[in-house]
């Protein structure tokens, strides 16, 4: 089955809008990658300053290929890159063992 990668980003309140705009402007950065299945940027509602970046992949190999290709290129650059909006990042990895969808979907 698929794998899920969740990047936990610690984002100070004053950087939330910056982070969301950067993700909105990245349209297509992952969607055309082989093995990519799903993306969601989850904004915290209360009690935390951590955003969750949820991606789902066919398998670990597809994720690693994206990390070594398009992802690596996107995060490299010259000295004029803007300061990161997040002050910390942790990646959680999961294997999908069960799933369900709404009836009729």
* Residue 103 included in any domain: no
Report the CATH number that the domain containing residue 26 is assigned in CATH: 3.30.70.100
Does residue 78 have a pLDDT over 60? no
Task: State how far the alpha carbon of 92 is from the alpha carbons of 45, 52, 98, in Å.
Answer: 20, 10, 18
How many domains does the structure of the chain reveal?
A: 1
Residue pLDDT, tens place only, 4-51: 999 999 999 999 999 999 999 987 789 999 999 999 999 999 999 999
- Is 31 a member of any domain? yes
**Structural domain boundaries enclosing 24:** 3-75+84-95
* Domain assignment present for 42: yes
In a domain, 15, yes or no: yes
101 falls within a domain: no
Burial of 88 (0-12, 13-18, 19+ CB in 10 A): exposed
**Per this entry, what is the length of the chain?**
105
């Amino acid at each position: 089955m698929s794998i899920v990668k969740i990047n936990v980003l610690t984002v100070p309140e004053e950087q939330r809008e910056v982070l969301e705009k950067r993700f909105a402007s990245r349209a297509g950065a992952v969607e055309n990658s082989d093995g990519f299945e799903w993306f969601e940027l989850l904004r915290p509602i209360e009690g935390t300053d951590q955003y969750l970046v949820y991606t789902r992949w066919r398998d670990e190999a597809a994720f690693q290929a994206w990390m070594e290709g398009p992802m690596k290129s996107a995060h490299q650059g010259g000295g004029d890159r803007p300061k990161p909006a997040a002050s910390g990042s942790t990646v959680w990895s999961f294997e999908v063992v069960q799933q369900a969808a709404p009836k009729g979907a």
